[in-house]
Every structure is written in C-alpha cells, then in structure tokens.
Structure 1
C-alpha cells in the first residue's frame, strides 16, 4: 500500500500584506499530481488546511480544488482539523466532502471509535487510521495560571487525556490491516522552524506529547502542526512532513516535501520524502548602514521575497531609508530597523523582557504588516483589563 502524507497547508496565509494563497494553490496542485503519478492509494492530511477560522473564498477554492483533483484521480483521503482550522466549519462540510472521497475528522465526539477510519486499497489491503484532530490546551493553561495551580500537574492531566484517546484508537487496529495514527500535536523532541511565530510556539504549545505515548502497533504516525519536516519518533516511526511552502522568513531555506509511505500489514513502513517545488523562496538580508548597498546587490535577480534587516546605532534618524531599499530591491516586502546599542537587538523570537503588546505587534506584523493604531490601542486596553496594571514582561 502506498500512502501520501501531507499537512499544514495554511491556505489564506498572508505575509507582510502579500497573499500566499496562489503559491499554496500551486503546491496543492503539485501534491495532487504526485499522488497520481506515485500511484498513492490514499492521502492523509494532518490538519491546518486553512490559516484562519474564517478563510477567504480563494483559500476555500484552493482546498476544495485539491480534493476535487484527488477525486478525479480516484484517490480517497482522510483529513483532520488543526488548531488554525474551524472544527465546526469543517465538521459542517464533512457530508459534502464525503461525496468526493474525503473522510473529514474535525471534532472529538462521545464515541472515540468514530475517530477510526478505513480505506481499501486497489489490491484489497485495508488501511486503518486512528484520526485524532487537534485538542486545544490553551484554556487549561490559562485556567491553571489564573487559579494558581501547578501547571506541571495540568500538563500530566493533559497527557493522561491524550492517552485515553490513543488507547481507544489503538483498539481499532488489526493484525491484517495497515495501521496508522494521525494527529495534529507537538511531539517531544520536535524542532520548530525558525519561524517569525516561534516566540508563540511556547505560548500555544505548552502541552506536548511524549513519543512513548504513541501506540507501538502503529506502523506510521502521520503528524501535523510543526512546519519543519522531521522524524521526532522512531518506535513507532513518527513524521512531520512540514508546511507545503516557506510560509514566513523563519522558514527560509527549508526544503518542503510530502512523505510517501510504502507499507504492508505487519511489516515496517518505508518512508520516502518527495520534494515540492511550488512557492517562492524567502530570504533575509541583514546589513549595516555601511554594507547596505552591497548586501542589496547580492539579491539582484533573486525571484523570491526578501526581508531586509538594517542594524543602525540607537537614536540615528533614518528618513527615506525604506524607500531607498524598495527602489533597489522591488521584491523586498519587509524593511525592519534594528537599533543596536539600546538593548533592543535581541532576536525577534526572544521573549525575555518582552511585553505582551510587543509580542502582539510582532505577531501582527509577521502576518499583515503594520498594526493599525486603533487596533493596537484596543489590544493594550484588553491586556490591561486581563492583567491590571502596566504590561507585564513575559519571561522565558
């Protein structure tokens, strides 16, 4: 049996005001073509189809055309909801998607066995997938902090809950079928991308799952959530295929891929990485005022998107600097000034001594560009209401 594993499409993503959906659409077209040419019996999608719970029409079109392409190739799929997806929205579409061969598992209901799905391959082999969609832990984190309780105990309680579902899913595995587990979660030992959102990685993924919790009877664990392709678990083999394009400048230089898994009942899986070519490359240029012109020359002819970071002495006025960069490098979509000598030269992902307002500003700028003043004021007001007093620094 041949199973193609992919994840983290993030259709609808914008980067500094640039809509990446056309690139994601191209990547999904490439993946559907690979599924056909590699004679995949099934496709597994481990969550985060969309970048937000309220995706654009273009984002929805990209996703639905992907599933239609699989239908036209006669390839069924099993899909789970990720943390960026609206589980309710995907659940409401599950009936329609079923008509084109998509088994959508968006929510955990009262019957855990409903999370176990099967697909029959062309040769008659049955694929059994224990499909566990994203289970939010953010409310647990906030509750533990507000109540002054032991966060470590809550972490253990979360793992015990995950164990319950994993054991229930394992009950659906049989000796005469290919058995796989699919999850959208953070596995201990996984390495996040150097994403501009990496400072949020700790905030939103404080609860992790140990590889020791994974059922040994799973022949392959299809993971989603981490954007860097990797194998964080060996027994059973657990893989993140990563995001399908370089989504932000922290992922610059990463090779994007999908995994092709060849497996038979009772036999070890053989995993092959299939590289993807769609999507513009991202590159960061770091320069001082003295080296700026030379560094910009180095990206002349580069067809991707560029972020320029300029190190400048604190207090130096920089009128017209951004326009100067954009004239020299039209494909630069971000020009950031990093003041040195003021204690502000820390890496963008550092959280030491950084206020919640600054974290929000970085997050918003990474997705859409400059924060509207009214929105920033509203965030400050909401933060003050949640934590009376001045902004508190977020410690690492």
Structure 2
C-alpha cells in the first residue's frame, strides 16, 4: 500500500500583506499530480488546511480544488482540522466532502472510536486511520466534560487526556490490514522551524506529547503542526512532512516535501521524502547601512521574496531607508533595523515585557499589516473578560 502524507497548507496565508495563496494552490496541484504519478492508494492531510478560521474564497478554492483533483484521480483521502482551522466550519462541509471520497474529522467525539476511519484501496487492502484533530487545552476540557471526566484535573493533565484519545483510537485498529494514526500536535523533541519559534508557540498554549504515548499498533503516525520535515519516533514510526511552501522568513532555506509511505499489513512502514518544487523561495539578507545598494545588487537575479535587515551604527539617521532598498530590489517585503544599542532598537523588534495585546498586534502585523481598530478593541475586550474570569 502506498500512502501520501501531507499537512500544513495554510491556504490564505498573508506575509507582510502579500497573499501566498496562489503559491499554495500551485503546491497543492503539484501534490495531487504526485499522488497520481506515485500511484498513491490514499492521501492523508494532517491539519491546518487554512491559515485562519475564516478563510478567503481563494483559499477555499485552492483546498477544494485539491480535493476535487484527488476525486478525479480516484484517490481517497482522510483529513483532520488543525489549530489554524475552524473545526466547526470544516465539520459543516464534512458530509459534502464525503461524497467525493474525502473523510474529514474536524472535531473530537465523545466516543473516540467514532474518529477511526477506514479506506478500502483499489487493490482491495484495508487502511484504518485513527484521526485525531487538533485539541487545545480548552477543547480537551470540553471533551472531558462530554466524557464525564474531572475537568479541573484534565486542565493539569493534558498528556493524560490526549493519551486517553490515542489509546481509544488504537482500539479501532483492524487485524490483517494497515493501521495508522493521524494527529495535529507537537511530539517531544520535534524541531520547529523559525515560524513556530517566533510566533506559534508564543501565542498559543504549547503542550507536547511523548512519543511513548502513540499507539504501539500504529504502523505509521502521520503528524501535522510542525513546519519542518522530520521523523520524531521510531516505534511507532512517526513523522512530520512539514508545510507545503516556505510560509514566512523563519522557514527560508527549508526544503519542502511530502512523505510517501509504503507499508503492508503486519510489516514496518518505509518513508520516502518527495521534494516539492512549488512556492517562491524566501531569504533574509543582512546589509550594512553604508553598503545597502552594493549588497542588494547581488540579489538582482533572486526571484523569491526578500527580507532585508539593515545593520545600523549608533546615531545613524533612518529616513528613506525602505525607499533605498526598494529602488534596488522590487521583491522585498520587509525592511528591518538591526541596531547595535538597545536604545536604538525598533519597538516592534523587542519582545520582552510586551503585553498580550502588543504581542497580538505584532503577530497581526507580521502576517497582514496594521491591526484594524475594531479587531484590536475586540481582542482587548476578550482579554479583559478572561482576566476578570481568572481574578474571580
């Protein structure tokens, strides 16, 4: 059996206001062609189909076009929701996706066995997938309520709660077939790319699982959430394929891929990394203030997207710096200052001591530009209500 594993599309991603969706669409088209050329019996998508819970029409078109291409090729798929996805939104279209052979597991079930999906391949083999969508601490506590658990204890025992679901998923495995688990989570020892280091783990609850908690009967664990491709466990065999393009400058230089898994009942899985060619390369270039034009002239042949970090000595005047950069290179999305003294550092380059709303403003600026006032007010109101709840 040949299973193609991918994850972290992030359709709808904006980088400094620049829409990456066309590149993501191109990558998804490339993956659908690989699914055909590699004679995949099934495709697994381990979450973060979209970059936001309310994706644009173009983002939805890119993802649904991918699923339709799989349908046209007669290749079934199983997908789960990630932390960037709206679980409720994906759950609302799960029935429609089922009509074209895409089994979507967007939300946890009070009975985890209901999250086990089965795929009958064209060769007559049975693939069983225990599909665990992203569970934040809040969702896990809600699931614990459904199960009659002690929610106060579950808040302190994220691993035990996740372990419960994983054990129950393992109970749905079928003898004589291929058994896999799919999850959108972080496994101990996983190495994040610059993306996760800079923002993802700062602004969300960061909980991890031990590889020892993964069901021993799983022949492969198809993971999503970490954007850097890597294997994180030998027994059971678990791996992240990573994001499908370099999503931001923290991922600059990373080679993107999908994982082709070859496996048969009762035998260990084998992984082959298949590189992806889609998506513009991202690069960070560091230049000295007195050498901006000369250094950037060397990047004239670069067709990707640039972030330029200018090293400025003490007392340097900065007006017109961005214009200087853009006169040399039109494919620059960001210009930042790397001041040598703390009192010269730009406020948006600092992070220690920032409030939650200030962190949110910086997070939004990195992806979309200036934070709209209505969103700032809504975030502040939610933060105030949360603080009141904690104080109460």
| The two structures share one fold, judged by TM-score above 0.5 | yes
CA separation of 1:306 and 1:169: change in aligned 2, threshold 3 A: same
Q: Which moved more, 1:85-94 or 1:343-352?
A: 343-352
The alignment yields a C-alpha RMSD, in angstroms, of 2.5
Q: What does 1:1-396 align with in structure 2 at a 5 Å threshold? A: 1-137=1-137, 157-195=157-195, 198-313=198-313, 316-342=316-342, 351-372=351-372
Instruction: Give the alignment's TM-score, normalised by structure 1.
Output: 0.89
CA separation of 1:319 and 1:203: change in aligned 2, threshold 3 A: closer
Looking at structure 2, the residues matched to 347 and 281 of structure 1 have their Cα atoms a distance apart, in angstroms, of 28
* Partner deviation per Cα, 1:309-368 (whole Å, 9 max, x = no partner): 112245533111111111111000111123321256599998544443442233112101
Gaps in structure 2 of 5+ consecutive residues? 142-152
* Partner deviation per Cα, 1:8-37 (whole Å, 9 max, x = no partner): 000000101110000000000000000000
- 2:140 and 2:161 in contact (8 A); partners too: no
Looking at structure 2, the residues matched to 85 and 376 of structure 1 have their Cα atoms a distance apart, in angstroms, of 21
Instruction: Give the alignment's TM-score, normalised by structure 2.
Output: 0.89
Give secondary structure in 1 for the equivalent of 2:335: strand
Q: Which of the two has greater helix per residue? A: 2
Give secondary structure in 2 for the equivalent of 1:119: strand
Match of 1:391 in 2: none
Give secondary structure in 2 for the equivalent of 1:290: helix
Give secondary structure in 1 for the equivalent of 2:10: coil
Looking at structure 2, the residues matched to 282 and 25 of structure 1 have their Cα atoms a distance apart, in angstroms, of 17
Q: Which moved more, 1:332-341 or 1:153-162?
A: 153-162
Looking at structure 1, the residues matched to 347 and 125 of structure 2 have their Cα atoms a distance apart, in angstroms, of 50
Looking at structure 2, the residues matched to 223 and 93 of structure 1 have their Cα atoms a distance apart, in angstroms, of 23
Looking at structure 2, the residues matched to 347 and 298 of structure 1 have their Cα atoms a distance apart, in angstroms, of 30
CA displacement at 1:287 relative to structure 2: 1.6
Looking at structure 2, the residues matched to 284 and 12 of structure 1 have their Cα atoms a distance apart, in angstroms, of 22
Looking at structure 2, the residues matched to 356 and 232 of structure 1 have their Cα atoms a distance apart, in angstroms, of 32
- 1:197 and 1:366 in contact (8 A); partners too: no
- 1:32 and 1:66 in contact (8 A); partners too: yes
CA displacement at 1:383 relative to structure 2: 5.5
Gaps in structure 1 of 5+ consecutive residues? 142-152, 389-396
CA separation of 1:131 and 1:346: change in aligned 2, threshold 3 A: farther
Give secondary structure in 2 for the equivalent of 1:319: coil
CA separation of 1:162 and 1:378: change in aligned 2, threshold 3 A: closer
Looking at structure 2, the residues matched to 155 and 224 of structure 1 have their Cα atoms a distance apart, in angstroms, of 23
* Partner deviation per Cα, 1:37-61 (whole Å, 9 max, x = no partner): 0000000000010111111111110
